[in-house]
Amino acid sequence: MELSRVEEELTATCACEGEDSVRKELESFLKTYPKSSWAAKVAARLRAIKSHTSGIRFYCKPG
């Protein structure tokens, strides 16, 4: 994931992939960029996904 797209991805409520895929992508971001200014927000989003409180619709088809 490009750093310039992090904010867009963090605020999205529709994910093309499933929960596991989104979770793995966020975990990968945290491993790759642990000192990023976005790390805290990514970690919070990851916690919300794990607790099923993120509001994200998985396998969502835009349009």
The string of DSSP letters for 5-38 reads GHHHHHH-SEESS-HHHHHHHHHHHHHH-TTSTT
pLDDT at 36 over 80: yes
Taking residues 9-25, what's their average pLDDT?
88
Task: Tell me what pLDDT residue 3 has.
Answer: 65
Task: Tell me what pLDDT residue 37 has.
Answer: 87
pTM: 0.81
Percent of the chain with pLDDT over 70: 89
Asked if 43 contacts 30 with a C-beta cutoff of 8 angstroms, the reply is yes
d(CA 2, CA 58): 21
Q: Which two tokens stand for residue 50?
A: 């794990």
Phi, psi of 33 (to 5 degrees): -125, 60
Asked if 9 contacts 49 with a C-beta cutoff of 8 angstroms, the reply is no
Task: Tell me what pLDDT residue 9 has.
Answer: 73
